[in-house]
């Protein structure tokens, strides 16, 4: 067993260094279970304080942006500053509805896993804006290369709930025929590229897809996502090299939710910088945005999409947020972070903040809010019942023959042999 402790390395001593030693450094989060959470050192800019450059601005003029935080909604839910998006109240309401739908869906499906009806589930609690807002801000022909925490994209584009649940149950109507885990969705017609259990693969695929579109003179763009922890993988840097060298029309989003299962952001990047600042060495713009402020998220996406569609290339965006639930149904965050950390996150809850905005802008009421909740809850309960009638985990499954279909254009010899072994 390997123990990481502070190991002392004896360094060559100059006169002034006598007695000093270099210590092997292991980063540690500010607070562990039982400690009081401390967010005082987070680099958070005041609401509305960041200037919005022209979308045609050259990257050299944008070098301070990765160290600021773009925010629009103030404490009263009123937007401030240059990054307020041009958006109608009907679109804001739509964003809000789908964020609420995502939260209810996640909560119910998490419970369903505890009831043994599926093997695994993973929720996007606290990050609902990052699935729903891009889905609405980008066009139907654009393509999202998502992480597993962005089911909101599919919900906002009207992907049938029953189909999602059939996949989660891996029953006979699973649209992916048991080839994928629950939550690893794939829906090309909804602009949602296949998820993969191997984290970090999305960026390279997004850049390649975007390059192919540019090659064909299309103005479709790609958006790819990666988690904070996964930026420590080499594939992140390879994708950025291609994106910047070929000016790929792509938005590259880092979902910085502060945690990578049980490891904190300080293990993926030096605490004295930001994830967005990695853009600087690639010569592309890097933005940091409050991921719990749906209007700010919409605004930066519009900015980056406009650049990509007009030949100005890729933008790296750090969505600064907090994973307020467990990583997945297999995780217990109370073992590695203070229980109350999520509640004390200084940028609040994305759904509550948008609700407050709608209420203060008089475009919404408590009464309508209550009706909406009931309607969404009913929609999910009914879809759940319909999928349960087909069968939950183990009660029903896709035909084994389907496992061999739709993978290779021409059947692979191994699959042919396995089919024979099965007598099919
Ligand atoms: C290539 C690879 N390495 C490790 C894992 C195991 N794993 C799954 S999720 C995860 C943490 C990812 O954290 P982060 O990138 O911050 O994304 P988040 O879940 O916080 O959105 C790890 C290590 C994996 N699925 N794939
Ligand atoms: Mg993370």
* Ligand 1 atom with least separation from CA of 265: 16
User: What pLDDT shows up at residue 3?
Assistant: 36
How far, in Å, CA of 142 to CA of 301, rounded? 13
User: What pLDDT shows up at residue 176?
Assistant: 95
Residue ranges in the chain modelled with pLDDT below 50: 1-10
Structure confidence by residue, pLDDT tens digits, 3-14? 333 444 445 556
The ligand minimizing its distance to the Cα of 328 is 1
Is the shortest distance between the CB of 323 and ligand 1 below 6 Å? yes
- Which residue has a Cα nearest atom 19 of ligand 1? 260
Is the shortest distance between the CB of 122 and ligand 1 below 6 Å? no
User: What pLDDT shows up at residue 407?
Assistant: 82
Structure confidence by residue, pLDDT tens digits, 83-113? 999 999 999 999 999 999 999 999 999 999 9
Superfamily of domain 59-393: Thiamin diphosphate (ThDP)-binding fold, Pyr/PP domains (3.40.50.970)
Cα–Cα distances (Å) from 379 to 7, 127, 164, 172, 390, in that order, read 57, 22, 13, 22, 17
- Which residue has a Cα nearest atom 12 of ligand 1? 260
* Ligand 1 atom with least separation from CA of 327: 19
* Ligand 1 atom with least separation from CA of 257: 20
- Which residue has a Cα nearest atom 13 of ligand 1? 260
Is the shortest distance between the CB of 255 and ligand 1 below 6 Å? yes
Is the shortest distance between the CB of 134 and ligand 1 below 6 Å? no
- Which residue has a Cα nearest atom 11 of ligand 1? 260
Task: State which H helix or E strand residue 134 sits in.
Answer: helix 129-137
Q: Where are the domains of the chain?
A: 59-393, 397-424
Is the shortest distance between the CB of 147 and ligand 1 below 6 Å? yes
Contact 315, 308 (CB under 8 A): yes
Q: Angle, nearest 10°, between helix axes 129-137 and 294-309?
A: 40
């Amino acid at each position: 067993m390997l123990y990481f402790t502070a190991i002392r390395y004896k360094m060559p001593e100059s006169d002034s260094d006598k007695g000093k030693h270099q210590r092997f450094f292991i980063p540690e989060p500010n607070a562990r279970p039982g400690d009081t959470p401390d967010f005082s050192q987070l680099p958070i800019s005041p609401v509305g304080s960041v200037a919005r450059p022209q979308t045609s601005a050259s990257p050299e003029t944008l070098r301070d942006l990765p160290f600021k935080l773009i925010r629009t909604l103030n404490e009263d839910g009123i937007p401030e500053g240059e990054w307020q998006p041009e958006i109608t109240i009907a679109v804001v309401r739509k964003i809000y509805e789908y964020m609420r739908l995502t939260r209810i869906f996640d909560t119910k499906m998490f419970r369903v896993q505890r009831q043994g009806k599926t093997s695994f589930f993973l929720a996007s609690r606290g990050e609902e804006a990052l699935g729903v807002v891009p889905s609405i801000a980008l066009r139907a022909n654009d393509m999202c290369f998502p992480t597993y925490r962005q089911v909101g994209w599919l919900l906002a584009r009207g992907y049938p709930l029953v189909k999602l649940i059939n996949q989660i149950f891996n029953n006979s109507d699973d649209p992916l025929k048991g080839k994928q885990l629950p939550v690893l969705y794939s829906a090309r017609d909804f602009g949602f590229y296949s998820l993969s259990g191997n984290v970090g693969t999305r960026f390279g695929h997004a850049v390649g897809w975007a390059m192919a579109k540019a090659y064909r003179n299309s103005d479709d763009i790609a958006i790819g996502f990666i988690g904070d922890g996964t930026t420590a993988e080499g594939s992140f840097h390879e994708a950025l090299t291609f994106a910047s060298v070929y000016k790929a029309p792509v938005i590259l989003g880092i979902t910085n939710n502060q945690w990578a299962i049980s490891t904190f952001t300080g293990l993926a990047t030096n605490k004295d910088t930001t994830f967005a600042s990695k853009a600087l060495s690639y010569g592309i713009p890097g933005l940091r945005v409050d991921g719990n402020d749906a209007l700010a998220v919409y605004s930066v996406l519009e900015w980056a999409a406009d650049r990509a569609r007009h030949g100005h290339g890729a933008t790296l965006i750090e969505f600064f947020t907090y994973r307020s639930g467990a990583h997945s149904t297999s995780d217990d965050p109370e073992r590695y972070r203070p229980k109350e950390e999520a509640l004390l996150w200084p940028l609040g809850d994305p759904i509550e903040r948008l609700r407050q905005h709608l209420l203060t802008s008089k475009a919404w009421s408590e009464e309508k809010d209550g009706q909406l909740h009931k309607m969404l809850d009913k929609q999910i309960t009914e879809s759940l019942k319909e999928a349960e009638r087909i069968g939950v985990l183990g009660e029903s499954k896709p035909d084994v023959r389907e496992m061999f279909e739709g993978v290779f254009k021409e059947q692979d010899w191994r699959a042919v042999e396995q089919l024979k072994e099965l007598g099919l």
